[in-house]
Amino acid sequence: MNSKEQFLKTLNHRQTDRVVIDLGSTAVTGIHVQTISNLRRYYGLQRKPIRVIEPFQMLGEVGWELIDSIGIDVIGAWGENNMFGFYNHGPFKEWKTPWGQRVMVPMNFQVTCDANGDVLMHPEGDNSIAPSARMPKTGYFFDAIIRQDPLDEENLRVEDNLEEFGLLSDRELEHWRIEVDKAYFSGKGVIASFGGTALGDIALVPGMQLRHPKGIRDIAEWYMSTISRPDFIQKIFEKQVEIAIENLKRIFATVGNKIHAIFICGTDFGTQNSTFCSPEQFDEMWLPWYKIMNDWIHQHTQWKTFKHSCGAVLPLLDSFIRAGFDIINPVQINAAGMDPKVLKEKYGNNLVFWGGGIDTQKTLPFATPEEVREHVLQNCEIFTKNGGFVFNTVHNIQANVPVQNVVAMLEAIQEFNGK
């Protein structure tokens, strides 16, 4: 069976002939540009500047040479613009990172430096506007800069938190048609990140693409608002979902069932040791809106829906299922209560585990290659039973991870697959 067939079996909880692999298809299952360069060097591939496919986290385009070398089974369809609001495709130019790597970036990737040597990114690549993100001079990715205006409690407007949400234009739909066709005819499984369905994703709340963001844009203020202003937040969600459903209708009319999974939500609900909210609060505030979107998708398409949430979310998994999610990622197996055996035994019939292949906080960066091998083999043994497992690391592979450990991970997958 080819990659697409293996992937579809996985999504439908059928036993596969081998582990299905994703490394690079989404903004939460990717690889840092530095690590991609190191992998290319290891595999003896031509040395060249890596394209930055997601500049906020400095994720790199894996490229077909590595896709073939690694045996990756899933391809992502990416949107027109990136999180900073400018066109994310060619033509490209070369840029030298603070750590000295030369990479390829879109033409509107325009940055400045402050007095400390930090790299500043500006909305839409317009340096005349105050920066919306910062990469410390010793860092490897950007952090959002909070630009929230003082809040007037008596005059909060739902519209201010909807500025970045709108109906897709014909040009954007044509982009999706081309992007999805390209992925579909690769023979791989396809996941698309259409956007507009996240409902409070903290990476998106600051509005880094907006020239002058209004509304609740401070991350701490947003979290507090889910308690102190729940009715207001619900009104924002209601309008977002209304727009999202209309966009999903337009997208499906354009691409049909050429995609197999859709990235719905990157909203985190877990910390290392607990959840951000109780199951009761999730059921009241988020579940109804997610269910509306998931129900529309399941009633009108063959797409599976992908929910990302870091942290100790075991108490929320029943709610995620009731909300209609088919897939959970990144499966943070080193968080409290997230034991792979418990997850698989209790939820393996209802959720596809997309991630959980290896811990990226301690094991991948700091263990020995042999410890990496044992860790991967153990997790594959648990998660692959009866299908429903896409191998991915627990979130993105970061910079400065020893390449020998990444290779040990990949070789362990091949060993498990009997190659």
How does pLDDT run across 46-103, given as a tens digit for each residue?
999 999 999 999 999 999 999 999 999 999 999 999 999 999 999 999 999 999 999 9
By CB atoms closer than 10 A (0-12, 13-18, 19+), residue 123 is buried
pLDDT, tens digit, 9 for 90 and up, residues 183-207: 999 999 999 999 999 999 999 999 9
Determine the pLDDT at residue 245: 98
Determine the pLDDT at residue 1: 67
Determine the pLDDT at residue 374: 98
Angle at 312 between CA 62 and CA 376, to 5 degrees: 45
Percentage of the chain surpassing pLDDT 70?
Answer: 100
Chain-centroid distance of CA 9 in Å reads 22
Query: Rounded to 5 degrees, what are φ and ψ at 149?
Result: -75, 160
Determine the pLDDT at residue 11: 98
SS3 418: coil
* Pair 3, 188: CB distance under 8 Å: yes
Handedness of CA 25, 26, 29, 32 (dihedral sign): positive
Handedness of CA 71, 74, 75, 79 (dihedral sign): negative
- In 3D, which of 319, 313, 248, 335 has the Cα closest to residue 284? 319
User: In what helix (H) or strand (E) does residue 238 lie, and over which residues does it extend?
Assistant: helix 230-255
Mean pLDDT, rounded, for 202-225: 97
Two tokens, residue 28: 């939460």
**What is the pLDDT of the chain when averaged over all its residues?**
97
Q: Which residues contact 309 (CB under 8 A, 6 or more apart)?
A: 265, 267, 268, 269, 270, 316, 320, 328, 329
User: Is the pLDDT assigned to residue 243 strictly greater than 90?
Assistant: yes
User: Is the pLDDT assigned to residue 234 strictly greater than 80?
Assistant: yes
Percentages helix, strand, coil for the chain, rounded to the nearest 5?
Answer: 40, 15, 45
Question: Strand 133-135 and strand 119-121: pairing?
Answer: antiparallel
Determine the pLDDT at residue 207: 98
Q: Which residues contact 392 (CB under 8 A, 6 or more apart)?
A: 21, 22, 23, 29, 329, 330, 354, 355, 356, 357
pLDDT, tens digit, 9 for 90 and up, residues 332-341: 999 999 999 9
- Hey, what amino acid is at 155? N
Question: Strand 143-144 and strand 389-391: pairing?
Answer: unpaired
pLDDT, tens digit, 9 for 90 and up, residues 340-372: 999 999 999 999 999 999 999 999 999 999 999
Euclidean distance between CA atoms 388 and 15, whole angstroms: 8
Mean pLDDT, rounded, for 307-313: 98
Determine the pLDDT at residue 288: 98
> Burial letters for 350-377: b for 16+ Cβ neighbours within 10 Å, e otherwise?
bbbbbbbbbbbeebbbebebeebbebbe
- Hey, what amino acid is at 283? D
pLDDT, tens digit, 9 for 90 and up, residues 88-112: 999 999 999 999 999 999 999 999 9
CATH architecture label of 3-31+41-47+60-83+150-416 = Alpha-Beta Barrel (3.20)
Q: What is the dihedral of CA 194, 195, 197, 200, to 10 degrees?
A: 160
Q: Count CA within 13 A, CB hemisphere, residue 245.
A: 16
Q: Count CA within 13 A, CB hemisphere, residue 14.
A: 7
User: Is the pLDDT assigned to residue 419 strictly greater than 90?
Assistant: no
